[in-house]
Amino acid sequence: MWSYRNGMATGFVTVWGDCASCEIGPIGWGGCVLIFQRTVPISGTIYPGYIYPGESHMRQAFTLIEVIIVIVVIGILAAAVIPKAINAQQETALAATVADLKAIENAVSLYYSEYGAYPRDVNRREVVDVLDPYFKSENPFSKTAPIGGIYDYEGPPNWSPVQISIRSENSSNHSEDKAIELDAYMDNGDLSSGTVRRSGNRTYYIIGK
């Protein structure tokens, strides 16, 4: 077995040998003793990272520790990043839903200004075609709400005040928690008052009289 000690200060490296790697046999009871030491000149660069016989087990142990450290660091980073990514997605969905509701409110207001009356109530999932000219882009009634559920216009003669509902067709599509988040995002955070409210499986936004 060979090992070395860096002797670059003098330009030499000190090398030891033991009885397992030389021709001189064991001395004394119980095994080997140090039997010679010599200093040899060197040229070029000594690479401390070079693995000599006898050092391999130690290097393997350090490598395992390094792998464990990397895994722990990755776990910590993932724990910090994933919740932020989820929150960003939720906020994006809320912002898009608010944009849809405001677009519908604006279209209804323009319709009322032109005709002096609100559009009549329609059945669930029915697109309010009379509002098409007042949308700058896609009619929100033709798509699913970003937070889940479907938009439903509720106007006269069946509803007063005029409102836009986001209806849930199943419990996983649009929960009360999402309604609370929407209310906090665009109103007063209280589903029992203000313009955003909750009744049964629907959240609704009041836009008219």
Residue 95 has pLDDT above 90, yes or no: yes
Q: Kindly state the tokens that stand for 37.
A: 């030491």
pLDDT in tens, 146-173: 999 999 999 999 999 999 999 876 654 7
Note if the pTM is more than 0.85.
no
Q: Exposed e or buried b for every residue in 91-125, given b needs 16+ CB within 10 A?
A: eebbeebbebbebbbebbeebbeeeeebbebbeee
Q: Report, as an integer, the average pLDDT of 54-75.
A: 71
Q: Report, as an integer, the average pLDDT of 43-64.
A: 52
Most confident of 31-35, 120-124, 144-148, 170-174: 144-148
Beta strands in 42-117 (DSSP E): none
Q: Are 152 and 124 in contact (CB under 8 A)?
A: yes
Q: How confident is the model at residue 31 (pLDDT cuts 50, 70, 90)?
A: very low
* Composition of the chain by helix, strand, coil, percent to 5: 40, 15, 45
Percent of the chain with pLDDT over 70: 64
- What's the Cα-to-Cα distance from 195 to each of 46, 85, 191, 202, 206, rounded to whole Å? 76, 29, 9, 14, 5
Using alpha carbons, select from 200, 181, 195, 144 the residue that is nearest to residue 152: 144
Q: Are 151 and 168 in contact (CB under 8 A)?
A: no
d(CA 83, CA 26): 64
Q: How confident is the model at residue 62 (pLDDT cuts 50, 70, 90)?
A: low
Beta strands in 131-200 (DSSP E): 150-154, 163-167, 196-199
